[in-house]
Amino acid sequence: MSKIGKLFGIGVGPGDPELITKKAIRVINEADVIFTAASTKNNYSLALEIADPYISNNTDIQSLSFPMIKDKIESAKAWNTNAEKIASILKQGKNAAFITLGDPVTYSTFGYILMAMEKVMPQADIEIVPGITSFHAAAARCNKILVEAEETLAVMSGAYGGENIRAIAEKVDKIAIVKAYKNTKDINKALKETGFYKKSIAISRCGRDGEEIIDNIDDLEKRKPDYWTLILAGK
Ligand SMILES: C[S@@+](CC[C@H](N)C(=O)[O-])C[C@H]1O[C@@H](n2cnc3c(N)ncnc32)[C@H](O)[C@@H]1O
């Protein structure tokens, strides 16, 4: 039987093509197969665009579908199907790299792959190559310190509006809210209620074409923010 290949979960950084690590570049360059994530509505992968200059000519590139649905059973089926595709490559003795934007252990589709691989191929050899997260890139872009001294940072999703902010506000000094592209009215309301509003800033498409720094987060309510929008807030 041939040697089993290795799976790498690779963060390619937040979008600025220069914010990718040397290790990610090497592993992408050496991989036999590159897996990318695409929603079932959209086959485009920004991670692939960033990785593209480092992919060797004979590398096989495969797109995996991740349906954006709430049904947990259907989602788990799709993750298992994707993990089986990866497992079949590893069983051929090939190395595979699953590339993802930002960091692979931070709100990433790679998390679903990791979970499903444990079921589908528990013996798989998996290595994670960290990437620069969107909120680290955003703090740097805005010349903002994320946390210092004894401060506490909460990183949360804003997908359900302000509920996470209200739940944690008393216990933390700074908040990074990713997925701040919908329910922005309630996010802003919660930031106002909890004293985080004045020191908040939003950034869309950080390090990419169309980047915008939005000093007054009320502006988010007046337009439909880009999916690639996050808020950094402090007391
Ligand atoms: C599914 S999460 C991916 C997070 C990513 N794995 C990371 O490490 O930052 C998608 C959210 O990340 C944030 N995001 C990712 N890249 C961004 C960028 N370049 N500019 C602003 N926000 C970004 C947005 O809030 C977006 O809705």
Domains and CATH numbers, the chain: 6-129 (3.40.1010.10), 134-234 (3.30.950.10)
pLDDT reading at 42 higher than 60: no
pTM (2 d.p.): 0.94
Question: What pLDDT sits at residue 69?
Answer: 81
Question: What pLDDT sits at residue 2?
Answer: 65
Count Cβ atoms within 10 A of the Cβ of residue 227 and give its class: 0-12 exposed, 13-18 middle, 19 or more buried.
exposed
How much is the average pLDDT of 77-88?
96
Q: What is the mean pLDDT of the chain?
A: 95
The pLDDT-based confidence of 164 (bands split at 50, 70, 90) is very high
Which residue has the least CA distance to atom 4 on ligand 1? 107
In degrees, to the nearest 5, what angle opens at C-alpha 69 toward C-alphas 64 and 73? 85
Question: What pLDDT sits at residue 38?
Answer: 83
The rounded distance, in Å, linking the Cα atoms of 188 and 182 is 11
Which residue has the least CA distance to atom 5 on ligand 1? 102
The rounded distance, in Å, linking the Cα atoms of 204 and 208 is 9
Least confident piece of the model among 69-83, 126-140, 179-193: 69-83
Question: What pLDDT sits at residue 113?
Answer: 97
Percent of the chain with pLDDT over 70: 97
Tell me the longest C-alpha to C-alpha distance in the chain: 62
Counting ligand 1 atoms within 8 A of each CB, the residue from 178, 187, 208, 211 with the most, and so the one to mutate, is 178
pLDDT reading at 127 higher than 90: yes
Question: What pLDDT sits at residue 45?
Answer: 85
Task: Give residue-wise pLDDT tens across range 131-159.
Answer: 999 999 999 999 999 999 999 999 999 99
The rounded distance, in Å, linking the Cα atoms of 110 and 204 is 23
CA distances to 78, 106, 138, 199, 207 from 228, rounded to whole Å, are: 24, 15, 11, 20, 11
Question: What pLDDT sits at residue 72?
Answer: 87
Q: Helices 72-91 and 109-120 sit at what angle, rounded to 10 degrees?
A: 70
The rounded distance, in Å, linking the Cα atoms of 78 and 152 is 36
* Radius of gyration of the chain measured on its C-alpha atoms: 19
Q: Tell me if residue 1 falls in helix, strand or coil.
A: coil
Counting ligand 1 atoms within 8 A of each CB, the residue from 134, 177, 181, 183 with the most, and so the one to mutate, is 134
Count Cβ atoms within 10 A of the Cβ of residue 232 and give its class: 0-12 exposed, 13-18 middle, 19 or more buried.
buried
Q: Is the C-alpha dihedral spanning 90, 72, 14, 48 positive or negative? A: positive
Question: Is the CB of residue 205 below 6 angstroms from any atom belonging to ligand 1?
Answer: yes
CB 54 within 8 A of CB 129: no
Question: What pLDDT sits at residue 150?
Answer: 97
